Chains A and B, each alone.
Chain A
Amino acid sequence: MLDATFNLSTTTTPRAFNGHTSIYLPVIATIEDVQVESKLEKVYDVRLPGGENLGHSPGQFVMVSLPGVGEAPISVMSSPSRTHDTFRLCIRNAGDLTNVIHKLERGDRVGIRGPFGRGFPIEVFKGKDVLIAAGGLGIAPARSLIDQIIDNRADFGRLIILYGARNPSELLFRDAMAEWEERDDVEALVTVDRADDTWLGHVGVITRLFEHIQINPYHTVAITVGPPIMYRFVVMELSGKGLTPEQIWMSFERRMKCGVGKCGHCQVNHRYACQEGPAWTYAEALAFEEAL
């Protein structure tokens, strides 16, 4: 049976069309702005018809379509607190579809379905110290959560952000990171696997940052988002600091073709990442053999 937290409400689907509804039919949205974020990533501001609010929670994703090219799941980067008539996506040029998306400009159109999936339970995080460990492009979905916490700062305890990229040229959101580093109420640490001449900060994989932070395990929740290989090692560090599997949340990347729990691609054991995920606790993940 489907999990109690299974969420069937989406903003863009299903919608009626001549008396029918199709969960596969995207709405046509407009790109309001495009910013180059790095060699591989661009950030898109997307406007739904009529400027409708996407109504997502941090950690949810949308299915982005270019009819004629294809469709893929993309995490929402903007926080609900900063999402009004546009929402924001950070898209890496990593395949056939995203290659074409990278050619799009302001005013171009894309199909959108969603938001889908179960995001991070931000209500559960309230009053707690929040540690976010993001690797690579994982900083994009993490950004949704970080900005939501910063915009409601009094509702949370400490905010600790650990961010790792392979090299300085792949670091995303440098401006935001500089702001976080300046704030008294945010503890942000960045590392790169391999430094270059310009880099004066931490060097090494993300787990190396854990030696620089101390946490109160009774009052902390941790959220980790990044490539699959990262989770095992981040979880070891978090466990070493006294966190239980119930206090650790992670987002699972999987191939997705439908976003609505039918096509079978995103299955992790008996769970569908597009429905009951992509955010799961480590405790939940431990119950699936296929998760990590």
Chain B
Amino acid sequence: MSLYILPKDQLSAFVEALQASFRVVGPTQTETGYAFADIVDPEQLELDYDTTVLPPKKYFLPQREVLFNFHANALEPGTGQLEVEPVFQDVTPTVIFGVHTCDMNGIMLYDKVFAEGFRDEHYMERRDQIYVIGIECLTPCDDASFCKDMGTLTAPPIYDLHMTEVNGSYLLDTGSERGEALLLEYSEAKMAKSEDMQLLGRTLSAKWPHFRHRLKMSRDQTPSLLSLGYDAHIWEDLGERCLACGSCTNVCPTCFCFDVQDELDINMEDGERVRVWDSCQLHEFALVAGGHNFRESKASRVRHRLMRKGKYIKQVHGLLGCTGCGRCERACLVDITIPGTLNALYEEMQLEPGG
């Protein structure tokens, strides 16, 4: 695996060549900001974007995904024919351009979630067909970012190719053999020279001062801070503010919870079982038959989200559940933020006797 160089003006030709064999997606300009979308014209690709409302998770775990088709008598269920056939939706060779390092960290977590324990073939088959082309973040997206705190300001080893803009060219690191093959087959990229490597090193080391820390503690402390702060007062305050709208989980690159629903055709016989994004912030999320709700209060649901981000997901999968991308903060209608919450918890814990 090696480092290649591609002049910026040859990127369009690379994209165009890929379009013959792949669905190509990437950040594009919309009326309300940037969004990952299908690239029809290579000129649409905006690699110099700040952030997107939704992370690229929508390509890995579609908002609505068919798990299987069924044929059943819905008017008298259980009677007559009952047939099921699995569906593997959106298993399309896809190249995603311009994935920021925070979002690559989100994808790395998804890869663990769906591979560990029971292997989710719906995810895994689609994942195998997705090539990730990352882009190095040289300046912060905006004030909501706290990637530096979360350790996600550097590319994790899940990319096929990773681009860094240096002096009118892109330096491309190959993270996989298939990524290198893609680059060599579809672009005019050349091997980088030693002076390119030197420039890359200087560019990378120069980026760090542009990013600021927002957390008052290190990310390694968040699991223990959240353990100590389980009964803290801040949860009640946040519960009173939270609207339980679920925007934060929808835009989160690490949220993967889903609901499962059956959708019937108008003939009342054919239908699909689908999974759709769900949110632990919604009232029904932990409700069981008989009416008991294990997270009845908004305070308990806000706390659960923060616990997952800063503690539980790490306990299960070894990675923190927050990438510091700042999307939940931008989406929140009542200004609930992860750094603000963790910092408030940190302050509250300092006041505890012995804290």
Residues in B neighbouring A263, C-beta threshold 8 A: 257-260, 275, 278
Residues in B neighbouring A67, C-beta threshold 8 A: 70, 72, 77, 82, 84, 262, 271, 273
Contacts across chains A and B counted by CB atoms under 8 Å? 163
Is the pair B315, A270 in contact by a Cβ cutoff of 8 Å?
A: yes
The complex places the Cα of A129 from the Cα of B260 at a distance, in Å, of 42
| Closest Cβ–Cβ distance, residue A54 to chain B (whole Å) | 18
The stretch from A14-22, A154-162, A197-205, A211-219 touching chain B is A14-22
Residues in B neighbouring A257, C-beta threshold 8 A: 258-260, 275, 278
Which of chain B's residues 210-232 have a Cβ closer than 8 Å to chain A?
A: 230
| Closest Cβ–Cβ distance, residue B281 to chain A (whole Å) | 12
What 0/1 pattern do residues 107 to 151 of B give for CB contact below 8 A with A?
000000110111111100100000000000000000000000000
What 0/1 pattern do residues 245 to 274 of A give for CB contact below 8 A with B?
000000001110110111111011110100
Is the pair A22, B311 in contact by a Cβ cutoff of 8 Å?
A: no
| Closest Cβ–Cβ distance, residue A39 to chain B (whole Å) | 15
The complex places the Cα of A111 from the Cα of B114 at a distance, in Å, of 23
**A51 interface residue, CB < 8 Å from B?**
no
Which of chain A's residues 48-99 have a Cβ closer than 8 Å to chain B?
A: 65-72, 92, 94-95, 98
Which of chain B's residues 83-105 have a Cβ closer than 8 Å to chain A?
A: 83-86, 88
Contact of B257 among A26, A111, A265 (CB under 8 A): A265
Is the pair A270, B113 in contact by a Cβ cutoff of 8 Å?
A: no
Is the pair A23, B120 in contact by a Cβ cutoff of 8 Å?
A: yes
* Number of chain B interface residues as a range: 35 or more
The complex places the Cα of A150 from the Cα of B114 at a distance, in Å, of 40
Nearest B residue to A259, CB-CB: B118
Is the pair A264, B256 in contact by a Cβ cutoff of 8 Å?
A: yes
Residue in A14, A228, A253, A258 whose Cβ sees the most chain B Cβ within 10 Å: A258
Is the pair A70, B117 in contact by a Cβ cutoff of 8 Å?
A: no
The stretch from B25-33, B37-45, B199-207, B283-291 touching chain A is B283-291
The complex places the Cα of A70 from the Cα of B113 at a distance, in Å, of 24
The complex places the Cα of A66 from the Cα of B264 at a distance, in Å, of 12
Is the pair A20, B70 in contact by a Cβ cutoff of 8 Å?
A: no
The complex places the Cα of A14 from the Cα of B273 at a distance, in Å, of 17
The complex places the Cα of A8 from the Cα of B116 at a distance, in Å, of 10
Is the pair A228, B84 in contact by a Cβ cutoff of 8 Å?
A: no
**B193 interface residue, CB < 8 Å from A?**
no
Residues in B neighbouring A21, C-beta threshold 8 A: 119, 121
Is the pair B290, A94 in contact by a Cβ cutoff of 8 Å?
A: yes
Is the pair B312, A267 in contact by a Cβ cutoff of 8 Å?
A: yes
Is the pair B294, A109 in contact by a Cβ cutoff of 8 Å?
A: no
Is the pair B287, A255 in contact by a Cβ cutoff of 8 Å?
A: yes
| Closest Cβ–Cβ distance, residue A207 to chain B (whole Å) | 19
What are 18 contact pairs spanning A and B, CB under 8 A? A14-B121, A17-B85, A22-B68, A22-B121, A28-B82, A67-B82, A67-B271, A68-B70, A70-B261, A100-B78, A108-B78, A109-B79, A255-B286, A257-B278, A263-B275, A264-B280, A265-B257, A265-B278
